[in-house]
Structure 1
Amino acid sequence: MERTCAVLLTLAASCYSPRLNEGTPCASTADCPFPQRCVLGSCAQRVPAIDAALPVDAAESEDAAAAAIDAAAVDAAPDAMPLPCMTSGLTCGGTATTFPCGGHCWARCTGSATWTAASQACMGWQGALGEIDDATEQSCVAGHVSTATWIGLRQSDAATRPADGWGWNGSTTPLVYMHWQEQCGKIQSDGTWDDVSCTATTPFLCERN
């Protein structure tokens, strides 16, 4: 009987484990009984739930990000200013001069080139072969032309009649303003337009904003 009691007491002693109450000070989770954890210096059964107000903070963060984007938009550089009206960058086999017409900068090159070569030279200047949009611009440009000179007129290869398929610099948009005398178009010394083979070589006019 005494032996049985001794065994029972031993088992009871081995099962005894004093339980610390939640809130007991701790330095680490090792100081707390399982399954408590050391949270902010105190033993706790559960880790406190994340504050429900956090989504508000998230919303505030999004608002702050949006405000930063708006501020960046305000601080962004304005639209690029028009390029200076000068011949720098224009590849010309002759003399190049500039003049304003129609609110744009025009450049005239006295060196002869095919229409395609002239178009490429104008693009290298960050412009295009000149496009004459109305009678006022026509009058202005004609005043700077002393010999037949390429402008941006080109006829579609699919055109079946002389008057069809013309556009500015390869565009399929129909011409609104025209000043023909008769495939690629040039402006003559009297201001009239003439169509000639695109492989002919003449001086050319470029235009850019």
Structure 2
Amino acid sequence: MAPSTNSEALTRARAVLHAFQRLPNYVGWGLDIAKLLSVSSATVSPGPPTMTFTLPITHSLCQSLGQLHGGATATIFDICMSIALCLIQGPGFWENNWGVSRTLNVTYLGAVKQGCTVQVECEIVGYGRRMAHLRAVMRAVEEEKEGQGKAEGHEGGGKLGKILAACEHGKVAMDPKSVEVSDKVYREKTKGMKSKL
């Protein structure tokens, strides 16, 4: 069942990230990034479900100019927004998976420098049984100066800087039951049709 309170949402978000960081026998793409992530906040009300992550920008994520690599930026968004889907998961609904990417559009607005910390703010804009649309922004977390409050949703010190990258992400559910039903419908609708290829 999807979390119904913000406290439940945060607990679930941290548990899902923790489980991903410790997947047995998985050493594939993105695991090094996932191990650097931490969940700062997660909400299910009021408004759309949201989740916020923090991440230190390490040397391994940067290109030769000492800035976050564009491919790493896209992967960070992909992982964060995929994990955010745990806020809508329930029995028979986006169950046990984060779906697959249908679209991932990243706009790079500024350099993300090695050694800084960023905050990734994700929002589930809309979702249904088979598809979801999410958006996110990446901001620098600037060092806190005397007299300034800490960044909202950020556990460490510092204030949020300008938006450095933005992303829109379309996802498709891969629940075995949903896929089975969709495949059956597709086979029925295309029965007797010949390919034009």
Rg larger in 1 or in 2? 1
Q: TM-score, normalised by structure 1?
A: 0.22
Q: TM-score, normalised by structure 2?
A: 0.23
Larger RCO: 1 or 2 (CA < 8 Å, sep 6+) = 2
Task: Please state which structure has a larger fraction of its residues in strand.
Answer: 2
